Amino acid sequence: MKRILKAILASLVLCLALAACGGGGGSAAEPVDYKADFVGTWEISKMVQDGEETSTEDLDLMKQYGLNVYLELNEDGTSSLELFGEPMEGTWEATAAGNGTITIDGQSVSMVLDGNLLTLEQEGSTLSFVQIDPSEKVDGSGAGLDALTNSGEGTAYYGGDTIEDLDGAVELNINLVDDDVCTIKLVGMGDYVGDPGYLFELTNKTGADVLFMSTGDWTASGIVDDPVLYETVRAGETLGSIMWFNADTVGDDVTALSNISGQIVLLDSLDTSNEIATYDIAF
């Protein structure tokens, strides 16, 4: 279950990056006639990132543990994209029938309203919402995630991974990054629930909680894939975390893979639009 949640949240953070890296620029004056259909409270109903859609079951799992995502479009033109109780404030406008823009941190993203489905889209990533009655909105910050995934030692939001989480594990000791911000060490590889998995030891040397996350396309034996690494490490602590590739893309034999390369990005865990550092990784 921890693996499922990591995959969901990694996808969601990538989708939410559209609010920080979308194309800027102004929009046409807001036609009042088109505004009414947009105003209201919207709840996440679908996420698509790189052509892969998060299942309804996974979205239900998110909500079960308080991981709610809402979009508020107010009559006065203000907006709030709420991720697990943390709002990202902005503005919005309707530009035509069924079309509009939402602007967060000075960056604008298109909105398309089709019936009761409101979709935000940027560079192939989409977040889709359905309108709900405000009384149906659940307040909270996703605190249930700690209860679900913590190891009980209070060491991290997900409790971390160990070599025992990999079947047929091969221990490794490869330092990939070691600077004033963090240490990233490759300490093992093996089968991770049917997919090739790599265990990293992540050390956060900053004074704040940091999200370690794989980003963009990686290559494994010359094959392009989008692996999942998603782990929040508290300030000054070290945690193990598994990054896994899709066996359907790269094959299921981790020992047959070579020339692994890609990027790991470090984000402020309280504001994922704030990038701390990005590292080119190769092993």
Looking at the chain, which residues constitute the CATH 2.60.40 domain(s)? Answer: 150-282
Query: How high is the pLDDT of residue 156?
Result: 32
> Residue 52 above 80 pLDDT?
no
Residue 125: pLDDT above 80? no
Q: Which CATH class is domain 2-136?
A: mainly beta
Q: How confident is the model at residue 12 (pLDDT cuts 50, 70, 90)?
A: low
Q: What H or E segment, with its residue span, contains residue 109?
A: strand 107-114
CATH 2.40.128.280 domain position(s) in the chain: 2-136
Tokens 């909680």 found at: 209
Average pLDDT (47-52) is 72
- Crossing angle for the helix pair 2-16 and 56-64, to the nearest 10 degrees: 100
Higher pLDDT, 48 or 236: 236
Phi then psi for residue 78, to 5 deg, are -90, 160
Average pLDDT over every residue of 11-30: 54
Q: What is the CATH number of domain 150-282?
A: 2.60.40
pLDDT single digits (tens) 169-193: 999 999 999 999 999 999 999 999 8
pLDDT level of residue 153 (50, 70, 90 thresholds): very low
Greatest distance between any 2 Cα atoms in the chain: 63
DSSP-based three-state secondary structure for 93: strand
pLDDT of residue 251: 96
pLDDT of residue 119: 92
* 212-246 confidence digits (pLDDT tens): 999 989 999 999 999 999 888 989 999 999 999 99
Residue 20 binned pLDDT confidence (cut-offs 50, 70, 90): low
Tell me the one-letter amino acid at 51: G
Strand partners, 170: 189
Residue that the structure tokens 């921890």 belong to = 2
User: pLDDT confidence of 1, banded at 50, 70, 90?
Assistant: very low
Give, in order, the Cα–Cα distances in Å from 163 to each of 15, 142, 169, 171, 184. Answer: 30, 28, 7, 8, 16
Residue 91 burial (CB count, 10 A): 15
Q: How far apart are CA 104 and CA 30, in angstroms?
A: 17
CA angle 123, 60, 133 (to 5 degrees): 85
Number of Cβ within a 10 Å radius of residue 90: 21
Based on the number of CB atoms within 10 Å of its own CB, is 106 exposed (0-12), middle (13-18) or buried (19 or more)? exposed
Segment 71-113, tens digit of pLDDT: 999 999 999 888 766 677 889 999 998 999 998 766 788 899 9
